[in-house]
Structure 1
Amino acid sequence: MSEYTIRASLDQRALVKASQVLTGIITGIVADGHLHNAEVQMLSTWLSANEAATCTWPGNAIARLLQEVLADGRIDEAERTHLLTELQALVGSDFADTGSVDTGVAKLPYDTTDLNFEEGLRICLTGEFLYGTRNACEKLAIKARLEPSQNVSKKVYAVVVGTHASPDWVNASYGTKIRRAMELREDGHHILIVRESDWLSAIQNR
C-alpha cells in the first residue's frame, strides 16, 4: 500500500495517535541512555505492524534511520551510537545527563542560520506568539513585504513557530502545520522551521 493511499484513508486523529504512541515507545527505549539490538528490532517490528506511524514525522524519519541501520543485517557500535543519538534528539530525552525524561513529543530542528527573509517570500505562522495575535503577526509580515500563508506547501519558505508553542505540539491544532513542514523536509524540499524570536530579529535587521 502506498504512503499516499494510507494517508488518504486515515483521519488526522489516527495519525496523531500513532505519533504519540511511537514517541512514547522511543522515550522508554532511550530512557537509560543505552540502545540494545533487541530494542532496535522491536522498534522495527512495531513500525512494520503500525504502518500509519510512518506516514508522518517523526515516524517516517525513524523508519528511514532503521532501514539504513538494518540494511546489512547487523548493527555495529557506530550505527547503534548514531541511532541512539538521533532517537534521543527526536524525543528530547536527556536522561543520562539530568536523570529525567522529557515526555514532550519530538523536539523541533529549528533553523537558526542563513535566515534571509527577502521581500515576496511566503511564510506560514503557527502557534501562539509573544509578539501578539495572529492578525498582528500577519500585519507585521505584510509590512516586511512577506506573504503570509494559511497552509504549508512547497511554495512556503519558512514556518514560523510562536514562542508559546507547547513542547507537546503534536497534540495541538497547530501541530498539523509543523508535521507537514517536517514531511516536506524529509522529501527533500527546502523549508525552514524558525522560532518567533529569530524571525523577528531577521526581519528587523534586514
Structure 2
Amino acid sequence: MSKKAPHPTIAERLQQAKQLRPHTNELIGLARGLLADGMLNQSEAEYLLKWLEERPGALDTWPYNVLFQRLNESLADGHLDSDEEAEMLGMLVDLTGGGNLESGATAVNTTALPLNDPQPSIEFSGRTFVVTGTFASGSRREVTSAIEMRGGNVSGSVSRKTDYVVLGQRVSDQWTHANYGGKLEKAIMLRDDGHPVAIVSEQHWASFLD
C-alpha cells in the first residue's frame, strides 16, 4: 500500500504562492485585455480556460481555483450564455480592481474575495484582529483604535492566534506584491487547515461597531 503524500506546510504553501505571483501578474494583464471591449465571447472564455489548464500547479490556489471552477461550469454545455458572460465579466473586473482611485488604489468588490460564508458574528474583547487594505471608514489608525477601544488586539501579521482578518474596501490592484496579498494568502491557508480564522469585509466588521 503506497504512503499518502505529506500535506504541505503553511510555509511551503506560502512559498508556492510567492512563486505563482508572476503568473498572477500575467493573469491580471490578460483579464484587462479581455475587458477592453466590455464583452467576453465564447472563444475568449475558452482561451482563458486553456490558459488556466496550462498552469495546473496554480489551480489549488486562490484566485485561480475559483476562476477555473466558474469557467468550467459556464462552458460545460459548450455555450457561454449572457448570464454566464455577465458573471465572468464581473469576476474579471473584481480581479483587476476596476477603475483607479485618487489614492492609487482600486475599489474591489470584496464579495469576489474568499470571505467567510456566512460572515460570522464579530466579538472584540480578547480577540486578535489583522487589518489589511485601505479602509473607506477611516485611516488605519482609526480602524485600529476602534478595535482596541472595544477590547480587541491588532496584530501586523497573520498567525494561529488570529481570530479575524478584516479586508478594507479599497485594495491595491497589485495586491500580489503587497502585504495585503501575503496576509490574505496565509489566512486562507490557515482557514483551510481548520484554524478558526475568519476573513471578513470592512462593511461586515463595521456593522458590529455600534
Shift of 1:132: 3.2
Q: Is the 8 A contact 1:119 1:144 kept in 2?
A: yes
Gap change, CA 1:163 and 1:30, over 3 Å in 2: closer
Alignment of 1:1-206 (within 5 A): 8=12, 11-93=16-98, 107=108, 109=110, 116-126=122-132, 130-132=139-141, 137=144, 141-149=147-155, 150-151=157-158, 156-161=162-167, 166-181=172-187, 191-195=198-202, 199=205, 202-203=208-209, 205=210
Q: Is the 8 A contact 1:159 1:191 kept in 2?
A: yes
Q: Which runs of 5+ in 1 are unaligned?
A: none
Shift of 1:185: 8.0
Compute the TM-score of the two structures, normalised by the length of structure 1. 0.66
Q: Is the 8 A contact 1:152 1:159 kept in 2?
A: no
Whole-Å Cα distance in 2 between the matches of residues 66 and 175 of structure 1? Answer: 23
Letter in 1 for 2:200: I
Say what the alpha-carbon RMSD is for the aligned residues: 4.2
Shift of 1:121: 3.5
Quote the sequence identity (%): 28
Per-residue Cα deviation, 1:143-198 (whole angstroms, up to 9, x for no partner): 52224453156x74431346885342221134211234466789998833333x97
Shift of 1:38: 0.8
Compute the TM-score of the two structures, normalised by the length of structure 2. 0.65
Whole-Å Cα distance in 1 between the matches of residues 188 and 121 of structure 2? Answer: 18
Whole-Å Cα distance in 2 between the matches of residues 37 and 104 of structure 1? Answer: 31
Q: Which runs of 5+ in 2 are unaligned?
A: none
Shift of 1:119: 2.6
Moved over 6 A (4+): 103-106, 183-190
Gap change, CA 1:61 and 1:105, over 3 Å in 2: farther
Shift of 1:47: 0.5
Whole-Å Cα distance in 2 between the matches of residues 105 and 19 of structure 1? Answer: 17
